[in-house]
């Protein structure tokens, strides 16, 4: 009997031992499944990773088992917007001196906003759990170190703190006197106080702003790479002239090369500005009081002359009229003998040209000699969407200086309510300026303008419009039969 009980006990103990072994093996296998094997990270079950967002909006993925950062992902929308902006900056360049570019800039910006709207602001992940307290800031100036030892109450006030009393010195009242009277100065026996002369007018400071840009424009003008009007401002016309200058001279001039610009000016005619004395002939004119906009009123005048001495001198020296006045703020342009500063533009080109290109896209006219070398380049206004310029290759048929202008609304365009043929007198303020270089295509040609500051920045009625001085220079270089090619 005892042997049977012993055998039964041994059997029970063996069963319990086997059950414990099986449970241990199962636990070990489950732990092995949860634990990463070597350097391999297994993320197959939900809850293995946790996702956070940092202060820059980046998506941070963290292993919930080990606490290690797995990846940092920037917002996809931010990457797309940054790349689009970078590409737009490389693709587009806007010139704010060009009226067409000024209109294109806000239009393109609106299209960009419609296509890539800004994402809504998400403050979900900003931490506002702890606002800055009073103890986070340094003590105000003027307190003693032991003042920090006083405890504060619930409202931030220091307990047992004595109120501060501000004491002011007594003020002696007296009349204010002359407000323009200078304050007394401390002097010594050797001090000499200079009093400015009482002239009765304010002396304006000398105009020096942008003279370095004007000097660059004068250098370009001398080389035959016309920047249009000399106005002391950068713009699309100056950029085009710099490229033409390199083609004409072979020198890689940059607008920031101050020393090179100074050396080139010295080699091509000296200082960029010279003094000019207004003559009695300059002051005498003839001038017109104003130039009407309506063609029928223009036709009633005898001559479309300049309207002032400043307009006449500005065109003579290739300058913007406003810039000429700013350069000589104290000058009386109507008085003979007045000495003024003007641009020293140098000589005109003399090399004959064999081919002309009218570049519509670049808004520039380029003239080449027989060897294909660039001789001159001018900013130009070439046609418009309503009245486009010709296409293909045409030829110069004739040249006319100081021409009148025949307006025929049936052939090209209609101005205002004028529906009859009009003959408009000649003059620098006429519709075609002082020059007409006719092409073999009727009613089309290369001519001057009454508004030189708008060249390259506005539109024309199909012809090629230059400044009067550039058109006058071109008449000396061309002859009938020279081809003119219009390119896009």
List active site positions: 447, 463
Q: Which tokens in the block code for residue 102?
A: 């000024």
The residue count of the chain comes to: 488
Would you say 204 and 330 are in contact if contact means Cβ atoms under 8 Å apart? yes
Distance CA 180, CA 347 (A): 53
Which among 376, 379, 358 is positioned nearest to 367, based on CA atoms?
A: 376
Q: Which tokens in the block code for residue 340?
A: 């003024």
Would you say 307 and 289 are in contact if contact means Cβ atoms under 8 Å apart? yes
Exposed/middle/buried for 195, CB within 10 Å: 0-12, 13-18, 19+? exposed
Distance CA 383, CA 389 (A): 5
- Burial letters 309-320, b for 16+ CB under 10 A, else e: bbbbbbbbbbbb
Q: How many helices (H) and strands (E) does the chain have?
A: 11, 16
Would you say 228 and 455 are in contact if contact means Cβ atoms under 8 Å apart? yes
User: What are the Cα distances from residue 467, in Å, to 181, 424, 450?
Assistant: 54, 19, 8
Angle 57-63-66 from CA coordinates, rounded to 5°: 135
Q: Which helix (H) or strand (E) holds 134?
A: none
Q: Which tokens in the block code for residue 476?
A: 């000396």
Dihedral over Cα of 70, 72, 77, 79: its sign: negative
Cross-strand pairs, 376: 367
Q: Which tokens in the block code for residue 107?
A: 């239009």
- DSSP codes, 63-93: ETTT--EEEEE--HHHHHHHHHHHHHHHH--
Question: Looking only at Cα atoms, what is the longest distance across the chain?
Answer: 154
């Amino acid at each position: 009997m005892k042997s049977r009980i012993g055998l039964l006990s041994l059997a029970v103990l063996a069963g319990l031992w086997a059950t414990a072994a099986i449970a241990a093996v199962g636990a070990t296998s489950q732990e092995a499944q949860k634990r990463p094997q070597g350097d391999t990270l297994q993320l197959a079950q939900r809850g293995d990773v946790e996702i956070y967002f940092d202060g820059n909006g980046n998506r941070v993925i963290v292993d919930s088992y080990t606490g290690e950062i797995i990846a940092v992902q920037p917002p996809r929308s931010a990457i797309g917007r940054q790349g689009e902006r970078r590409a737009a900056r490389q693709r587009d360049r806007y010139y704010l001196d060009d009226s067409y570019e000024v209109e294109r800039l806000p239009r393109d910006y609106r299209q960009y906003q419609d296509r890539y709207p800004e994402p809504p602001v998400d403050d979900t992940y900003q931490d506002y759990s702890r606002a800055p307290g009073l103890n986070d800031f340094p003590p105000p100036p003027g307190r003693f170190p032991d003042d920090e030892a006083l405890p504060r109450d619930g409202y931030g006030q220091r307990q047992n703190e004595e109120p501060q009393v501000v004491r002011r010195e007594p003020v002696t009242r007296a009349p204010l006197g002359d407000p323009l009277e200078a304050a007394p100065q401390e002097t010594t026996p050797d001090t000499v106080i200079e009093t400015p002369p009482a002239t009765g007018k304010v002396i304006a400071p000398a105009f020096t702003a942008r003279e370095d840009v004007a000097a660059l424009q004068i250098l370009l003008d001398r080389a035959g790479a016309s920047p249009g009007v000399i106005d002391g401002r950068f713009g699309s016309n100056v950029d085009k002239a710099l490229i033409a200058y390199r083609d004409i001279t072979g020198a890689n001039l940059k607008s920031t090369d101050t020393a090179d610009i100074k050396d080139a000016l010295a080699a091509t005619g000296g200082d960029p500005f010279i003094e000019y004395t207004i003559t009695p002939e300059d002051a005498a004119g003839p001038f017109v009081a104003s130039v009407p906009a309506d063609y029928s009123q223009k036709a009633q005048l005898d001559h479309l002359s300049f309207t002032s001495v400043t307009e006449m001198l500005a065109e003579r020296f290739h300058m913007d009229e406003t810039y000429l006045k700013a350069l000589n703020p104290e000058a009386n342009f109507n008085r003979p003998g007045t000495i003024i500063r003007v641009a020293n533009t140098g000589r005109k080109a003399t090399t004959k040209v064999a081919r002309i290109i009218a570049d519509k896209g670049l808004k520039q006219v380029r003239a080449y000699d027989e060897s294909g070398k660039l001789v001159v380049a001018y900013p130009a206004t070439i046609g418009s969407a309503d009245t486009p310029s010709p296409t293909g290759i045409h030829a110069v048929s004739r040249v006319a200086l100081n021409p009148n202008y025949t307006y025929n609304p049936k052939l090209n365009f209609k101005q205002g309510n004028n529906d009859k043929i009009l003959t408009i007198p000649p003059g620098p303020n006429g519709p075609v300026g002082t020059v007409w270089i006719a092409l073999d295509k009727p009613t089309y040609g290369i001519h001057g303008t009454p508004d030189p500051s708008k060249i390259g920045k506005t539109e024309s009625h199909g012809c090629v419009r230059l400044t009067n001085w550039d058109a006058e220079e071109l008449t000396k270089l061309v002859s009938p039969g020279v081809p003119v090619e219009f390119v896009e």
